Amino acid sequence: MWNNTLMDWDLNPRRQLREWEHPLWAELKNSLNASFCENGNDSPMWTLNSNGLYTVASVKKTLQQPEQNLLDFQSQNTFKNLWKTSIPKKCIFFIWTLLYDSVNTAEQLMKRLPNLCSRPSWCVMCKRNDEDRIHLFILCPIAKSIWRSISSHLSSNVNCLSPKELCITMCSWKQKTKKNVILFNTYASALWNIWLERNARIFNGKEKTVAEIWEDIKALAGLWTSRSSLFSNYQASSIALNLNAFS
């Protein structure tokens, strides 16, 4: 339930969260729409059932109706392809938040909690523009430098107007060839490292150069790729140094 006193969701996971799960739990709560009520008590309401009660059948019925899909994906196998990748589950969840436009940029936080959002709302990467999803991951000069490096290094010509569009494109690459595995993992690593760098600058006051971020992207892409069955005979460090050899 929403707690107006704490200005937060009063939810308790069924088990104790691991350390790395706390940020994901916070993001999940922030992705929910907050309700502000001055009087009365909150009560749960399941909108997929006319009686307001949750049933598995109501979920199954909704998922089986194409016209009620939450996203207009290019392929019905988008999520299936995403879960078949070799990246960690927390990064899969991150890609999922990008697909649903719910990653917690300054713009998103201002919409949900305008009174509690920190100021200024500018992009900590370039310190020139307000931070929203499209700017942070696509239009920011640092992001642009990273995408140019990937395009040049992997001979990849992926031009997307938003992180959501980029993630949909990435999830269309079936993980059946070495090239597709390398492409997906490198782009996923880039998105993840941009987000990590953004958070490091905000919460830790630490900054890396574009060159350092690019090295981190390659290293992480190499690590994730080494977990794929297609690369069982390769070391992560070797893959990271030779990403273009497989593209």
Domain ranges of the chain: 1-68, 71-245
Residue 223: the pLDDT is 98
Residue 68: the pLDDT is 42
Residue 76: the pLDDT is 59
Q: Which H helix or E strand runs over 139?
A: none
Residues of the chain with pLDDT under 50: 67-70, 73, 117
Task: Render pLDDT for 139-175 as a digit per residue (tens, 0 to 9).
Answer: 999 999 999 999 999 998 888 889 999 999 999 999 9
pTM: 0.70
Residue 69: the pLDDT is 47
Residue 115: the pLDDT is 55
Residue 70: the pLDDT is 47
Q: Would you call 117 helix, strand, or coil by DSSP?
A: coil
Q: Quick one: what percent of the chain has pLDDT higher than 90?
A: 49
How far does CA 3 lie from the centroid of its chain? Answer: 27
Helical residues (DSSP H) of 100-209, grouped into ranges? 106-112, 133-134, 141-154, 163-171, 178-199
Residue 232: the pLDDT is 93
Residue 122: the pLDDT is 83
